[in-house]
């Protein structure tokens, strides 16, 4: 598939270790374990229809959403991998009410905080549509050797040292950034390795795709309505109308727009006045990736990465994509 000059995720991370002179291999080991967890979750996703991991788990998560069996499995798989890495001292997950910490001394000495949505787009699981994992990594601010505190997890997105996502689709891809460009790795099932397939991803400054759940149009703020109407208008000079593409999985929608150019909109609504997407687990990591690829992300008034989180499961309006499309949106807002 990739020929003989393949570069694996592990090789790439080791080569880039010099980007983090303070890490002395810790960060490299942490990212390695993230890749291992992604491969294990991918195996479960690929045989979801053959084993008893489809359907509801019978639980409600902290967001008030019905948990899927695969949600819980993915959450457990990543938590175990992070614990085994010994470089992560605490985890915050969309599926858990409180932060996860461990009592052993090695874990308390870990230097990194990990935040994740273990299985984004889980409403698509049962119908075989692309889903994903979103993650974000911070250096802890509490003293090493102690248990992390909630303040470690409430850092603004501009403090991230890495962020990424895994999209489980027709092929499985891991895309990540450490603040020095965005790189994509495609899983080669013949060797069981993520292999470098997308070098230094740059998203187009303009796009022809807008992604939004238009069923909520009448609940959107007036500025958002006007922008959507603008996207639908015919104008040869600006290549409109744009194409409407909405999957309902943030990872899948963002991944398409990242590569092809476009804008993703999840504004506040009358029924969700603070927005619906989670700042820490979804918006911050996706915003970091977007900016590193030359795009932009905002809550409609300010840069996503500059927002100081007030709570673990805080929600915000979210607009992300090609820079010129975001700028045009702001004219309407």
Is position 3 within any domain? no
Measure the CA–CA gap between 56 and 92, rounded to whole angstroms.
Answer: 22
One digit per residue, pLDDT tens: the chain, 333 residues? 445 568 999 889 888 876 665 656 788 889 999 999 999 999 888 776 544 544 454 455 555 555 567 888 899 999 999 999 999 999 999 999 999 999 888 788 999 999 999 999 877 777 778 899 999 999 999 999 999 999 999 999 999 999 999 999 889 999 999 999 999 999 999 999 999 999 999 999 999 999 999 999 999 999 999 999 999 999 999 999 999 999 999 999 999 999 999 999 999 999 999 999 999 999 999 999 999 999 999 999 999 999 999 999 999 999 999 999 999 999 999
What pTM was estimated for this model as a whole?
0.92
Same-domain status, 117 and 173: yes
Same-domain status, 252 and 194: no
Q: Beta-carbon neighbour count of residue 72 at 10 Å?
A: 17
Same-domain status, 193 and 213: no
Q: Tell whether 123 is in a known binding site.
A: yes
Q: Tell whether 71 is in a known binding site.
A: no
Same-domain status, 183 and 328: no
Is position 4 within any domain? no
Residue 40's domain spans which residues? Answer: 9-198
What's the CATH code of the domain at 309?
A: 3.40.190.80
Same-domain status, 178 and 214: no
Q: Tell whether 246 is in a known binding site.
A: yes
113 touches 261 (CB < 8 A): no
Domain final residue pick, 167, 198, 229: 198
Same-domain status, 168 and 20: yes
Q: Tell whether 121 is in a known binding site.
A: yes
Same-domain status, 187 and 78: yes
Q: Beta-carbon neighbour count of residue 84 at 10 Å?
A: 14
Is position 89 within any domain? yes
pLDDT confidence of residue 45? 81
Q: Tell whether 236 is in a known binding site.
A: no
Same-domain status, 96 and 179: yes
Q: Tell whether 244 is in a known binding site.
A: no
88 touches 82 (CB < 8 A): yes
Measure the CA–CA gap between 26 and 85, rounded to whole angstroms.
Answer: 9
Same-domain status, 75 and 108: yes
Same-domain status, 101 and 182: yes
Inter-helix orientation angle 222-232/323-332, to 10°: 130
Instruction: Extract the tokens encoding 141.
Output: 């601010």
pLDDT confidence of residue 57? 46
Residues 6+ apart with CB under 8 A from 38: 133, 166, 172, 174, 194
Q: Tell whether 250 is in a known binding site.
A: no
Same-domain status, 277 and 193: no
Q: Tell whether 243 is in a known binding site.
A: no
132 touches 167 (CB < 8 A): yes
Q: Tell whether 30 is in a known binding site.
A: no
Is position 2 within any domain? no
Same-domain status, 108 and 218: no
State phi, psi for 233 to the nearest 5 degrees: -70, 150
Domain final residue pick, 176, 198, 220: 198
Q: Can you point out the beta strands (E) in the chain?
A: 56-60, 66-68, 88-93, 100-101, 112-120, 131-139, 160-168, 172-177, 182-188, 193-198, 209-211, 243-244, 263-266, 277-278, 296-298, 315-316, 318-321
Measure the CA–CA gap between 317 and 266, rounded to whole angstroms.
Answer: 6
Query: Interior CA angle at 69 toward 64 and 70, to 5°?
Result: 105
Q: How many domains does the chain have?
A: 2
């Amino acid at each position: 598939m990739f020929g003989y000059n393949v570069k694996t995720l592990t090789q790439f991370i080791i080569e880039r270790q010099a980007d983090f002179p303070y890490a002395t291999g810790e960060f490299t080991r942490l990212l390695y374990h993230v890749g291992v967890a992604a491969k294990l979750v991918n195996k479960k996703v690929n045989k979801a229809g053959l084993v008893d991991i489809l359907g509801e788990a019978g639980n409600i998560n902290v967001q008030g959403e019905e948990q899927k069996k695969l949600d819980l499995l993915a959450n457990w798989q990543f938590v175990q991998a992070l614990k085994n890495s010994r470089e992560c001292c605490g985890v915050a997950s969309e599926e858990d009410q409180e932060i996860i910490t461990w009592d052993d001394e090695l874990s308390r000495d870990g230097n990194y905080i990990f935040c994740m949505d273990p299985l984004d787009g889980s409403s698509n699981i049962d119908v075989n549509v692309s889903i994903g994992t979103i993650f974000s990594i911070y250096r802890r601010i509490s003293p090493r050797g102690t248990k992390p505190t909630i303040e470690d997890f409430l850092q603004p997105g501009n403090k991230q040292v890495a962020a990424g996502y895994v999209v489980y689709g027709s092929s499985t891809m891991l895309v990540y950034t450490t603040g020095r460009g965005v790189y994509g790795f495609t899983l080669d099932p013949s060797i069981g390795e993520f292999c470098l397939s997308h070098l230094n991803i740059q998203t187009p400054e303009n796009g022809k795709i807008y992604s939004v759940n238009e069923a909520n149009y009448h609940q959107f703020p007036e500025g958002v309505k006007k922008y959507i109407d603008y996207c639908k208008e015919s104008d040869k000079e600006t290549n409109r109308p744009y194409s409407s593409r909405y999957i309902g999985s943030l990872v899948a929608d963002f991944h398409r727009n990242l590569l092809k150019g476009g804008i993703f909109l999840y504004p506040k609504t009358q029924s969700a006045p603070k927005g619906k997407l989670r700042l820490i687990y979804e918006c911050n990591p996706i915003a970091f990736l977007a900016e590193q690829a030359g795009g932009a992300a905002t809550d409609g008034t300010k840069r996503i990465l500059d927002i100081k989180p007030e709570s673990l499961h805080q929600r915000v309006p979210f607009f992300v994509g090609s820079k010129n499309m975001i700028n045009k949106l702001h004219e309407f807002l």
